[in-house]
Amino acid sequence: MRLLKKKLFILPVFFCFLSFSGKLSACTLWAASGDKVEGGGSLLAKNRDYRPAPDQVCTLETVKPSQAYEYTALIRTHKEKKYVKAGVNEKGLAIVSSTASSVEDDNDVHTVKNVCAGILASCDSVDAALGKKDIFSNAKPFNFMLADKNKIALVEIGPEGKFESKIIQNGTLCQTNHYILDGMKWANEKKIGRSSLERLKRIEELLNTRNGKFTLQDFIRFSEDRNAGPDNSIWRTGSSPKLSRTLATWIIHIPENGKPVVYLKTANPGEDINTFKPFIPDCVKTKN
């Protein structure tokens, strides 16, 4: 089994200009904040789904951009380029992403911003991130969920750089792979996939039927849910070897007071499932 590696990189801020490719990912995102969280603060989670190809291995890395915020992230490296799939920075701002699969593919190959890396390197809060309108308007269609100790937010980016956001201070959010905000539903150009609909319905059900406040353990339990079979559950195993399945779970609790705690489980292609005990990410260990 390949061990996850923790590395320190000195990178310029313009590292955030990378290219997204493919519509094969099918992630599930969910979050809670404020009076919905035991002890306050926010919880943010992502199940990363993709085909089990050798180039889809992700590792945990700590990145220190030049003159920017340090962050710890789940990163996929492909052809010497790094793609942040989920992460948190030294200021306690976290971000995760999911593909907007209900948009027609364009055939133009062009460079766009790696939103996750750019936000983590340059923003200290959800409000600061939402103020970076140029980052979102220059990105291809994608969905992002952000969290700090005070609030959570969903950002849906559609064609032509149009986007909408929703902010929650006391409540929950969830997203899969189609547009759900009223101002972005027009961007669902293709038939919405069954898996996206099923997973959204299930995570909404889990969030809405929970009695009491959410804990990290609740979110871990949600991440392992197999209610709808191998292809449509929150934790997907794939009904055939080539179909998408869950390759990683990233969950973070950002408390009102104290340091963030991350839960990570990886199911990298060709490796055994590796579950890490909740840990304080390196980027915040030595910070006040």
Run of H or E including 84 = strand 81-89
Q: At what angle do helices 194-208 and 216-223 cross, to 10 degrees?
A: 150
Higher-pLDDT residue of 2, 244:
244
Strand partners, 31: 44, 173
For residue 11, CA distances in Å to 14, 144, 206 come to: 8, 23, 40
Mean pLDDT lowest for which of 7-16, 34-43, 90-99? 7-16
- Whether the per-residue pLDDT at 80 is higher than 60: the answer is yes
Cα gap 91→97, rounded to integer Å? 19
pLDDT, position 16:
36
Instruction: Please check whether the domain covering 8-285 is classified as CATH 3.40.80.10.
Output: no
Find the farthest-apart pair of alpha carbons in the chain and give their distance in angstroms, rounded: 48
The answer to whether residues 30 and 207 touch, using CB atoms and an 8 Å cutoff, is yes
Run of H or E including 252 = strand 245-254
AA letter at 178? H
- Whether the per-residue pLDDT at 17 is higher than 50: the answer is no
Residue with tokens 């959204």: 200
- Whether the per-residue pLDDT at 20 is higher than 60: the answer is no
Strands 152-157 and 8-11: unpaired
Residues 196, 16, 119: CA angle, nearest 5 degrees = 70
Residue with tokens 């094969």: 24
Average of per-residue pLDDT across 135-160: 95
CA atoms within 13 A on the CB side of 201: 10
pTM of the complete model beyond 0.85: yes
Strand partners, 261: 253
pLDDT tens across 37-60, in order? Answer: 999 999 999 999 999 999 999 999
Cα gap 98→139, rounded to integer Å? 13
Closest by alpha carbon to 30, among 224, 226, 204?
204
pLDDT, position 288:
64
pLDDT, position 185:
96
Q: If you average pLDDT over each of 2-11, 99-108, 267-276, which comes out highest?
A: 267-276
Closest by alpha carbon to 74, among 115, 116, 112, 44?
116
122 in helix, strand or coil? helix
Residue with tokens 């750019």: 118
Average of per-residue pLDDT across 176-197: 94
